[in-house]
C-alpha cells in the first residue's frame, strides 16, 4: 500500500515553518514539508484540523504569521498552481457544456471573450481525453454525476499546465466507485504530466494504493513522510498528545484516538475515527 519512489531532485512545493493565527486562535504551528514533481501527496485530517487553511496559505489567500511557502516556477509563463475548490454546486439549468467549462481554464489568464479556434478546441479535446470525459463532453455540466463533474473540474484546473495541483476534499459526497476512479485519475495525471498533486481528505483509505507522501494534520501540527512512517501508533500518539491505536482491517486503516469504547460507538462504517 505504498506509492512509487519519486525523484527528490525536482522540488515543486516547499512549506517551511508555517504558522497561522486567526482571530487570536492558533490554527497551524510550524508546518514544514515539501512535494516533488510527479508526487501524489495526501493532506489528511479531521474536519476543522486546518487542511483548508493550509491550502489557502499555499494559494496566497492567507498570509502566515510566520514561515514561508515557495512554489517552483513553471515554464513559458504557465501558471504555477491549479486548484479544485471544495463543494462546487453546478446548476442543472446552467447552459454550460462540460467542454465549455474546461475551456474556461484556458481563458482564466486572458481578458475578453474567448474566440473559437482549431487550436483551442484541440487543447480542450486533449484534456477531456486525458480525464476520460470525452463521452460526456457536450452534456450540461449540471446534469453530470458527482464523479463526472470532478473529472471536468480537474480538467479545468490542469489545462493551463500548472506545476502544482491542489484539491480540497474532492472525494466528498462521491460514492465508493466514483471516489476510487477520481483517485486513480489524479495518480495517473501526477505520473504522466509530472504535476505535484496535494489532495485534502478526512479519509486516507482511498489514497493508500497511490500515495507517495502523507501530510497528517492534528492539533495544528503535522506529521509527514510515507504512510508507514506516519500512520503508526507511535507517530500519531505523539502528534495528538493522547494514545492512538492504528488498526489495519481488510487493507483499510482505522485510526482511533481517545477512549476505545467511544470510538467503537461512533465508528460505524467510518474508515477513520478521531476522538481526541
Task: Give the least confident one: 59-73, 208-222, 251-265.
Answer: 251-265
Rounded mean pLDDT of the chain? 84
Terminal C-alpha separation, the chain: 26
Higher confidence at residue 144 or residue 264?
A: 144
Q: Which residue ranges make up each domain of the chain?
A: 11-228
CB 150 within 8 A of CB 184: no
Digit-coded pLDDT (tens) for 69-108: 999 865 544 468 999 988 777 778 788 899 999 998 886 5
Nearest to 94 by CA among 28, 162, 141, 159: 141
The per-residue pLDDT for 116 is: 64
What percent of the chain has pLDDT above 70?
83
258 has pLDDT over 90: no
264 has pLDDT over 50: no
Q: All 3 cell numbers of residue 31? A: 508546518
Please report, for the chain, how many H helices and E strands are present, in that order.
8, 12
Higher confidence at residue 139 or residue 267?
A: 139
| pTM given for the model | 0.84
Higher confidence at residue 87 or residue 159?
A: 159
Q: CA-based Rg of the chain, rounded to a whole angstrom? A: 19
Spatial distance between the Cα atoms of 69 and 14, rounded to a whole number of angstroms: 6
Q: All 3 cell numbers of residue 244? A: 492512538
Nearest to 80 by CA among 162, 194, 190: 162
Digit-coded pLDDT (tens) for 121-132: 899 999 999 999
Spatial distance between the Cα atoms of 113 and 111, rounded to a whole number of angstroms: 7
The per-residue pLDDT for 235 is: 94
Q: All 3 cell numbers of residue 111? A: 481578458
Digit-coded pLDDT (tens) for 16-31: 999 999 999 999 999 9
How far, CA to CA in Å, does 230 sit from each of 184, 250, 269? Answer: 22, 19, 23
CATH numeric code, 11-228: 3.40.50.300
In this structure, what are the phi and psi dihedrals at residue 257, rounded to the nearest 5 degrees? -120, 130
Spatial distance between the Cα atoms of 158 and 172, rounded to a whole number of angstroms: 20
Helix (H, G, I), strand (E, B) or coil at 258: coil
227 has pLDDT over 90: yes
Amino acid at each position: 500500500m505504498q506509492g512509487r519512489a519519486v525523484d527528490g531532485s525536482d522540488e515543486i512545493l516547499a512549506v517551511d515553518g508555517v504558522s497561522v493565527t486567526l482571530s487570536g486562535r492558533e490554527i497551524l504551528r510550524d508546518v514544514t514539508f515539501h512535494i516533488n514533481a510527479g508526487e501524489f501527496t495526501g493532506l489528511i485530517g479531521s474536519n476543522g484540523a486546518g487542511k483548508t487553511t493550509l491550502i489557502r496559505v499555499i494559494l496566497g489567500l492567507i498570509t502566515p504569521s510566520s514561515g514561508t511557502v515557495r512554489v517552483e516556477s513553471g515554464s513559458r509563463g504557465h501558471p504555477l498552481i491549479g486548484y479544485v475548490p471544495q463543494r462546487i454546486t453546478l446548476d442543472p439549468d446552467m447552459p454550460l457544456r462540460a467542454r465549455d467549462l474546461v475551456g474556461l481554464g484556458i481563458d482564466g489568464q486572458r481578458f475578453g471573450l474567448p474566440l473559437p479556434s482549431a487550436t483551442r478546441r484541440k487543447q480542450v479535446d486533449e484534456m477531456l481525453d486525458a480525464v476520460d470525459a470525452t463521452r460526456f463532453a457536450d452534456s450540461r455540466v449540471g446534469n453530470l454525476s458527482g464523479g463526472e463533474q470532478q473529472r471536468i473540474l480537474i480538467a479545468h484546473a490542469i489545462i493551463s499546465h500548472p506545476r502544482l495541483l491542489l484539491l480540497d476534499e474532492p472525494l466528498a459526497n462521491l460514492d465508493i466507485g466514483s471516489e476510487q476512479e477520481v483517485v486513480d485519475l489524479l495518480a495517473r495525471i501526477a505520473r504522466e504530466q509530472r504535476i505535484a498533486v496535494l489532495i485534502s481528505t478526512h479519509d486516507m483509505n482511498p489514497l493508500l494504493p497511490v500515495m507517495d507522501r502523507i501530510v497528517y494534520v492534528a492539533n495544528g501540527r503535522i506529521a509527514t513522510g510515507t504512510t508507514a512512517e506516519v500512520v503508526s501508533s507511535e507517530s500519531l500518539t505523539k502528534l495528538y498528545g493522547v494514545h492512538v491505536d492504528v488498526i489495519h482491517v481488510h487493507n483499510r486503516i482505522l485510526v482511533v484516538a481517545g477512549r476505545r469504547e467511544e470510538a467503537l460507538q461512533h465508528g460505524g462504517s467510518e474508515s477513520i475515527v478521531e476522538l481526541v
